[in-house]
Structure formats: C-alpha cells, structure tokens
Amino acid sequence: MTEPNLLFPAAFYDRPTLQVARDLLGHTLVRVLPDGTRLSGRILETEAYTPDDPACHAHRGPSERARSMFGPPGHTYVYLIYGIYHCLNVVTQPVGEGAAVLIRAVEPLEGLAAMAEGRNIAPTAVRDLARGPGRLCQAFQLDRRFDGLPVTTTRSPIWIEHGTPVADAEVLTTPRIGITVTPEAIAAPWRLIVRDHPLVSGTRRQNCGQPYV
C-alpha cells in the first residue's frame, strides 16, 4: 500500500522548530479510533520548544518522560500534565537534539460526536472540543500510550496531512501560555496562532501578538 501524497515527509519535521510550528498551521491532524472512526481537525495554534529553552522538557538532557523528544522527527511526544491532562507534541529537528512543537488547538472537522464523547461534553459545545492542549488530547483520545508514534504514515493511529495553508498575514506570534521558568522563556514569542480565529485558546489579551514575518 503506497502512501497518499497528503502526508508530510519526515524531512518536513527535521527543520528548525519555530519554522515547523508555523508551517503546521492550517494543516490537518487526523486520528483513527480502534472502531475505525476518523477524527480530524485543522491546526490553529502551536508552540515551539527547543533544548536551549529552560521551559523545554529536553532542556536538561534525555529523561524517561521526554525520551521521545530525542527520537526521530515526525514522531509524537505525549506527556501527562498536572496529573490529569495530556499534551500532544510533534518531534522536530535531527535525532538527539530534543525539540518539539506543542499542538494547542484545532478546529474540529470530522468525528465531532466522538470528540464530544472523549471530552464528556455535549456535542453542541463545538467551541470546547479541542481548544487547548488538554482538551485536544481528550477529544482525540490520546494518552501516554500514543507517545513515540510516527505522524508521517497512515499506518499510525495518528498523523498529519495537508490541509489549507495559512498565509503569513494570518499568522500571529505571542508568548507561550503557562511558562514561568525565566523572564526570557516567558517573553519568547514562540506561540503561533491563526489570527482572530475563535477556536484558539487563550484570553483576548494573550491572543494579541506580532505578525510572524
């Protein structure tokens, strides 16, 4: 079975992390459940984490939790946060460097009923399905078992395929959400969002930013 031409090759992820974070905007996160149900959403919000950054889980070298970040680009890094929620990342840059893009929000496209089920909310509450990294993982039914899987093949239960790219004029950079480590890390404009999109996480204030270019 040949791969359809709608997937990004591993080389797409083997690039500087901020670039990958920007280029993923507008494209489609796909998840196929065990029963065959297809879930998908348009990526609206990402954050870049590189090993030189103290907020990055790979900053202090390889650890059990962040092992996947040091693995091949184009694979997932899924971790548990606050003992309750999971966050989905895609590994970037060459093997051994320890970098990734956090996927923070998508616009639900397919499988909304199943997403609502995973979130345990009413199917009508589209706005709350996948706005924020914890909600996104609930909607897409992702946990640590999905750590280290490739997103570059449809043989995986999760992958990213071509959607509708976002023009530079529609991309805004802001500081990342929830960072507290150092003033530099707090201020770094490494969160990328689709401008004025209602399904991006964060407050009005947090979503004011600078043009990407």
Partner DNA sequence: TATATGATCCCCT
Partner DNA sequence: GGGGATCATATAA
Nearer of residues 55 and 158 to DNA, judged by Cβ: 55
Residues 173-202 interacting with DNA (rule: CB under 7 A):
176-181, 201
Collapsed DSSP state (helix, strand, coil) of residue 42: strand
- Asked if 103 and 85 count as a contact pair (C-beta separation under 8 A), the reply is no
Q: 73, 29, 33: which is closest to 163 by C-alpha?
A: 29
Q: Which is nearer to DNA, 2 or 124 (CB)?
A: 124
- List the one residue from 1, 35, 64, 213 that touches DNA (CB under 7 A): 64
Among 47, 142, 188, 197, binds DNA (CB under 7 A): 47
d(CA 23, CA 101): 11
Applying the rule CB under 7 A, the residues between 132 and 161 that interact with DNA are 132-136
Angle at the Cα of 139 from the Cα atoms of 59 and 75, rounded to 5 degrees: 40
Considering the complex, state which of residue 42 and residue 119 has its C-beta at the smaller distance from DNA: 119
Angstrom CA distances, 73 to 14, 184, 188, stand at 6, 26, 23
Q: Which C-beta is closer to DNA: that of 31 or that of 57?
A: 57
Total residues at interface with DNA (CB under 7 A): 38
Residue 201 · residue 177 · CB < 8 Å: yes
Phi/psi at 39 (nearest 5 deg)?
-110, 140
SS3 145: helix
Q: Is 82 in the site for DNA (CB under 7 A)?
A: yes
Among the listed residues 22, 42, 57, 75, the single contact to DNA using CB under 7 A = 57
Distances (CA, A) of 213 to 22, 26, 69, 121: 11, 17, 27, 38
Distance of closest approach, residue 107 Cβ to DNA, in angstroms: 15
* Helix or strand (DSSP H, E) at 78: strand 76-81
CB nearer to DNA: pick between 16 and 211 = 16
> Residue 179 CB, nearest distance to DNA (Å)?
6
Of the two residues 6 and 189, which places its CB atom closer to DNA in the complex?
Answer: 189
List of residues contacting DNA (CB under 7 A): 47, 49, 55-58, 60, 63-66, 69, 77, 80-85, 87, 89, 100, 102, 119, 121, 128, 132-136, 176-181, 201
